[in-house]
Amino acid sequence: MNRLTLSGVALLTFAAWPAPRGAAGSARAEVPPVPSAPAVVAGHDEAAVLAAIAKGVDYLVRHQERDGSFGAPRNIMLSETFATIHTYEAWTYATTGLAAMALADCGQGDAARRALDRAIDWLIATPLPKRVSEWDCDHVWGDVYGLQAVAHLLRHPRLEDDPRKPALVRRGKELIRQLCEWQAPLGGWGYYEGPVVAKPNSWSTQFTTAVGVIALLDAKAAGLPVDAAHLDKAVRAVAHCRLPNGAYTYSVDTISSPAGLEYINQVKGSLGRIQIGNVALFRAGELDRRAVKAGLDEFFRHHQFLAVARKKPIPHESWYAVAAYFFLFGHYYAAEAIELLPAEQRPKYARALEGKLLAIQEDDGAFWDFHISTYTRAYGTAFAVMSLARANRATSTRYAAGG
């Protein structure tokens, strides 16, 4: 592992920096104490949760680009000086996919519906992102979140009789072909090149691969043709990254190892990646609910290592090499993991998740964790409102009773 980011979005992860193996000198703040149990919010304030979701959706509607996309290379930071216009095209495709899912799931009213329609039109009409350079392979983020968005929209009740469905199917098939074309030799996907310049690129990460697994599973559920060999190879890659203690290696390596005691492959270093790995493996039939619950217990037990990294400007500068952009990414997949638990176990974790997210919403309605031009607030807000919506369902008595 030599770089980290998410969300090509940052998560979509976006900047490339070496990950430190330990403390970065005396200037680093003292590590916060580890609580003995997950912090749980006392009660479920549905009104506050719904208000935060509505405020976040309003932010997305107000900050949609004129062409219907989300995110743009404005207010560029030093950490993205490597990016070219094609890098930004990839990030825009991924961010727009996430925002479209958020608008479909959480949007209410005519303005949100118009914003969703414009985002769908943009996703259908925009050329797919291509490999940026010998080193920069951020197009993969556009592939995985673009495919997940298309698959999500194809099955969404709001688009049941939408005349654009055939175009979405065509776009979904294109994204699957491109994703399979760029699957690395070890079965995963990565957003940068490794020690060897190749096609497909030789470096892949656990979390990008896990997102790819979920995208392919969603595509299959939506009726799109998914090659079983490519999917199985990706599932095996994610499973290979899982360590006996429940942590995941950052990269898909030949030999999976936790490395140093203060390294990113430890539980505290992989908090933002454990949930996506567990969700992907559970949905693929390779993990049980006990492991999913154990991952959520670790997430809240050691949550301060994600919290202290949020908004830090340099990737991986925090404890256990945690990068800021894993905060909202990790909470989004924690919300998905909660929905995989037995109904009676969901409310406790959902309330805890709600509390973590409600505490960080900005006055303008946005959620963000790491600065990447205007992308961070767009994809971060999309992640957060979808997470809150899932958590709100999990705290509903009717939902819990019905499973």
What would the pLDDT profile of 299-349 be if each residue is shown by its tens digit? Answer: 999 999 999 999 999 899 999 999 999 999 999 999 999 999 999 999 999
Burial of residue 335 (number of CB atoms within 10 Å: 0-12, 13-18, 19+): buried
pLDDT more than 90, % of the chain: 78
Mean predicted confidence (pLDDT) in 109-124: 98
Reported pTM: 0.89
What DSSP designation does 74 have? -
Distance between first and last Cα of the chain: 39
Q: What is the pLDDT of residue 35?
A: 40
Q: pLDDT by residue (tens digit) across 125-161? A: 999 999 999 999 999 999 999 999 999 999 999 999 9
CA distance linking residue 304 with residue 317, whole number of Å:
15
Question: Would you call 402 exposed, middle or buried from its count of C-beta atoms within 10 A (0-12, 13-18, 19+)?
Answer: exposed
pLDDT of residue 43: 63
Element (H, E) at 238: helix 228-241
Q: Per the structure block, which two tokens stand in for 108?
A: 């209410």
Two tokens, residue 340: 């995989």
CA–CA distances in Å: residue 75 to residues 4, 12, 15, 203, 210: 21, 18, 15, 29, 30
pLDDT for 142 equals: 97
Amino acid at 286: E
Region 281-290: what's the mean pLDDT? Answer: 98
pLDDT tens-digit series, residues 202-241: 999 999 999 999 999 999 999 999 999 999 999 999 999 9
pLDDT(59) > 80: yes
**Which stretch of 22-36, 336-350, 380-394 has the lowest confidence by average pLDDT?**
22-36
| Cβ-proximal residues to 65 (8 Å cutoff; 6+ apart), any chain | 71, 72
Per-residue model confidence (pLDDT) at position 32: 39
Q: Does pLDDT of 163 surpass 90?
A: yes
- Confidence category of residue 80, pLDDT binned at 50, 70, 90: confident
The pair phi, psi for residue 23, each rounded to 5°, is: -65, 145
Q: What is the mean pLDDT of the chain?
A: 88
pLDDT of 206: 98
Check whether 380 has a pLDDT greater than 80.
yes
DSSP class of residue 189 equals: B
**CB-facing half-sphere around the CA of 248: CA atoms within 13 A:** 29
pLDDT in tens, 344-374: 999 999 999 999 999 999 999 999 999 888 8
CB atoms within 10 A of CB 49: 22
10-24, 68-82, 185-199 — which one is most confidently predicted on average?
A: 185-199
Give residue 364's pLDDT.
97
Please, are residues 152 and 144 in contact by the beta-carbon 8 Å criterion?
Answer: no
**Token pair of 245, please?**
């203690």
Nearest to 210 by CA among 250, 176, 171: 250
CA dihedral 42, 47, 49, 55 (to 10 degrees): -150
Q: Which two tokens stand for residue 244?
A: 């006996």
Residue 28 zone, left/alpha/beta (φ > 0; ψ -120 to 50; rest): beta
> Three-class SS of residue 248?
strand
Q: Contact, 282 vs 217, CB < 8 A? A: no
286 pLDDT band (50/70/90 cuts)?
A: very high
pLDDT of res. 259: 85
User: What is the DSSP-derived secondary structure letter of residue 7?
Assistant: B
**Does 22 have pLDDT greater than 90?**
no
Domains of the chain: 46-402 (1.50.10.20)
